[in-house]
Amino acid sequence: KVNRGGSPLARRLDLDRIGMAGHSFGAWTTLAVAGQAVGQGQGPADPRLKAAIAMSAPAPRRREGLDQVYGRIKIPILHMTGTRDDSPIGETRAAERRLAFDQIQGADQYLVVFQGGDHMVFSGRRLLGEAGAERATQDALFHSLILQGTTAFWDAYLKGDAAAKAWLARGGYAAVLGAEGKLEEKLSPPPSE
């Protein structure tokens, strides 16, 4: 409706290249729209969604049947977390935030784990009781690395930019991350001709 008229965004939205991103509960929502099973239900994946970014996605409460929980997700996803990304609420520990990455098959998946990154690094807020210039400097570095990775991911998977995809998949982003983060990839084989 916004794209049809009466808005500053009229005829500016490319509805064939829709991506979704979220942090924490927003990451859970992003994965649900991408096809993650929710509760007892198996809601349909939104076919308009072409790629997603999940930052600090919570792990399901039940750990059995994860292949069914994530089995309907068939789009590229960039997962992001940190080594200190324990949930300030809920029960997800930092090491469990990789469960979606580990389970999803059939589409390119990337996982970035920031060394020393906590749950709030993606939002720009600090955990209660944390402050200091050193922390602010580290957060600024993480934000730069997040921006570089997410921009390349959108360029690769929404714009079809082969150079951006190569930078992500062939060591460019990993080199930029250096000791501040680790990048893992699960790339689908190219379609046979």
Give me the tens of pLDDT residue by residue for the chain, a chain 193 residues long: 888 888 888 888 888 999 999 999 999 999 999 999 987 666 678 999 999 999 999 998 877 889 889 999 999 999 999 999 998 777 899 999 999 999 999 999 999 999 999 998 888 766 555 555 666 678 889 999 999 999 999 999 999 999 999 999 999 999 999 999 999 999 988 766 5
**Residue 38 one-letter amino acid:** V
Q: Are strands 49-55 and 77-84 parallel, antiparallel or unpaired?
A: parallel
**Of 83, 74, 82, 24, the residue nearest 54 (C-alpha):** 24
d(CA 30, CA 190): 25
Which residue, chain included where needed, has tokens 């200091």? 132
> What are the tokens at 82?
């940190």
Please check whether residue 43 is in contact with residue 32, taking contact to mean a CB–CB distance below 8 angstroms: yes
d(CA 115, CA 183): 11
This prediction has a pTM of 0.90
Residue 60: half-sphere exposure toward Cβ, Cα within 13 Å: 19
